[in-house]
């Protein structure tokens, strides 16, 4: 309080910190953790109101970008640990568990990986990267998305630099190396659309392979990038049941609900759509009918999560508020999107109240 007083922040009304709003993490305290993706400005606590808001609403966090290999491992022998170290400090200070995201992903790779041609060099990068990064944060992050998005929509393995040079076992190998480097850290496989039957089957096969090799995997993350009015509740429920039947924890790891026009599902970051007159329909606010549908969708989702709270350990939103969502810039740049529970001023939307009213 003293520090707040000295900086004059105590003169701000309570509303500025969101203290009068119910807290998601408290509301679901006995059910599952509530997480958010964090960007660099938030990790660096640039805005004290934002920090207070995050700390009040969330008890888990995933770095939106800073732990991806391209950022944390920019050159063969160079690591940029400072942002991730700050994130760990942020978590410690505010009692927020950190999920490391992500060790092995084909996207946002360091530029030097593109120049690697030989199997031995890919293996060296793969091994060094996991050992160094997972080792440094052992005991400091709660969990890792060890491998992210290794599957195609039909459940086959995605053709990545890792598959090409290391073969199908690279996923098991990644878990083995992470387990060695960070024996007390939870280890997850994370993907989008892996609630869809074909991709789910591929995901289950992947998990079984890891387990059959005697390697530890603790959970599966269903990212949860869904569309308003089309949230696949049945597939999600079936997936929760099937993943849990493998002895795994289930997490919703990147939740948001797209409200703008898009002609494909998922989160394939390389896909783009051309901007046209119809692609940004709500620059000045979300029409009430869409707002209500969004609220109903979020409520139905959380009703389902609560039904399976014995299997779900965490629900993480991909961003704190609508203004910070990646969906404002993908698959079309510069749109005005509304995919989360809080608006651009961190004010709760109707969807927020529908969600907390379930308790
Ligand atoms: O939200 C992230 C965005 O800021 C980045 O530009 C993008 C680049 O690949 O990655 C976004 O996060 C992705 C996450 O790491 C993995 N699943 C899909 C997410 C949305 O693209």
Q: What is the Cα–Cα distance from 246 to 260, expressed in whole angstroms?
A: 36
**How far is the C-alpha of 214 from the C-alpha of 101, rounded, in Å?**
24
Question: So which residues are the catalytic ones?
Answer: 149, 254
Q: Give the position, in ligand 1's atom list, of the atom nearest the Cα of 101.
A: 15
pTM exceeding 0.75 = yes
Q: How far is the CA of 20 from the centre of ligand 1 (A)?
A: 32
Q: Of the candidates 318, 191, 345, which has an alpha carbon nearest to the alpha carbon of residue 258? A: 318
- Of residues 202, 172, 206, the one with CA closest to residue 104: 172
* φ/ψ of residue 90, rounded to 5: -55, -45
pLDDT level of residue 235 (50, 70, 90 thresholds)? very high
100 with 75: CB under 8 angstroms? no
Q: Which atom of ligand 1 is nearest to the CA of 318?
A: 1
Mind listing the pLDDT tens digit for each residue in 274-284? 888 789 999 99
- pLDDT class of 19 with cuts at 50, 70, 90: confident
Ligand 1 mean position, distance from CA 201 (Å): 24
Does residue 7 have a pLDDT over 70? no
In the predicted structure, residue 10 carries a pLDDT above the cut 60:
no
At a CB cut-off of 8 Å and minimum separation 6, what does 295 contact? 349, 350, 351, 353, 354
Calculate how far, in angstroms, residue 34's C-alpha sits from the geometric centre of ligand 1.
19
Closest approach atom of ligand 1 to CA 269: 21
**What pLDDT is stored for residue 264 in this prediction?**
85
pLDDT in tens, 170-206: 999 999 999 999 999 999 999 999 999 999 999 999 9
| Best residue for ligand 1 mutational test, from 103, 226, 269 (most atoms within 8 Å of Cβ) | 269
Q: Is the pLDDT at 104 greater than 50, yes or no?
A: yes
- Would the pLDDT of 229 be above 90? yes
How many whole angstroms from 325 Cα to the centroid of ligand 1?
A: 10
**CB half-sphere exposure, 338, CA atoms < 13 A:** 27
Report d(CA 344, CA 326) in Å as an integer.
Answer: 13
- Structure confidence at residue 1 (pLDDT): 40
Question: Is the Cβ–Cβ distance between 310 and 229 less than 8 Å?
Answer: no
Cα–Cα distances in angstroms (integers) from residue 66 to residues 12, 17, 22, 77, 216, in the given order: 31, 26, 30, 18, 25
The whole-chain average pLDDT of the chain stands at 95
Name the residue at shortest CA distance from atom 20 of ligand 1.
267
Q: What domains can be seen in the chain, in order of their start residue?
A: 28-265+276-356 (3.20.20.80)
**Residues with beta carbon inside 6 Å of ligand 1?**
64-65, 107-108, 148, 192, 223, 254, 267, 269, 326
């Amino acid at each position: 309080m003293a520090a707040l007083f000295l900086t004059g922040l105590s003169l701000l009304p309570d509303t500025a910190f969101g203290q009068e709003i119910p807290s998601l993490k408290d509301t679901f305290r006995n059910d599952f953790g509530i997480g958010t993706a964090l960007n660099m400005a938030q990790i660096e606590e640039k805005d004290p109101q934002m920090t207070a808001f995050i700390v009040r609403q969330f008890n888990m966090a995933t770095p939106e970008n800073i732990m991806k290999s391209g950022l944390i491992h920019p050159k063969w022998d160079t690591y940029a640990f400072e942002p991730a170290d700050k994130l760990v400090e942020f978590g410690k200070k505010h009692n927020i568990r950190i999920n490391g995201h992500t060790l092995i992903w084909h996207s946002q790779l360091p530029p030097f990986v593109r120049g690697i041609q030989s199997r031995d060099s890919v293996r060296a990068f793969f091994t060094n990267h996991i050992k160094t990064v997972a080792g440094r944060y052992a005991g400091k992050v709660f969990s890792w998305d060890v491998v992210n998005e290794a599957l195609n929509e039909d459940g086959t393995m995605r053709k990545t630099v890792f598959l090409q040079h290391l073969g199908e076992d690279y996923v098991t190998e990644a878990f083995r190396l992470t387990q060695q480097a960070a024996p007390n850290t939870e280890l997850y496989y994370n993907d989008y659309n892996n609630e869809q039957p074909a991709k789910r089957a591929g995901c289950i096969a992947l998990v079984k392979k890891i387990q059959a090799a005697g390697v530890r995997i603790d959970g599966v993350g269903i990212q949860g990038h869904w569309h308003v009015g089309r949230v696949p509740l049945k597939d999600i429920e079936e997936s929760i049941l099937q993943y849990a039947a493998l002895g795994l924890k289930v997490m919703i790891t990147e939740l948001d609900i797209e409200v703008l026009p898009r002609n494909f599902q998922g989160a394939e970051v390389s896909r783009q759509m051309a901007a046209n007159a119809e692609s940004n329909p709500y620059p000045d606010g979300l029409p009430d009918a869409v707002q209500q549908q969004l609220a109903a969708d979020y409520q139905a989702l959380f009703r389902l999560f609560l039904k399976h709270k014995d299997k779900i350990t965490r629900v993480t939103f991909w961003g704190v508020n609508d203004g910070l969502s990646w969906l404002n810039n993908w698959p079309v740049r510069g749109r005005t999107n509304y995919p989360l529970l809080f608006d651009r001023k961190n004010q709760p939307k109707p969807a927020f109240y529908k969600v907390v009213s379930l308790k």
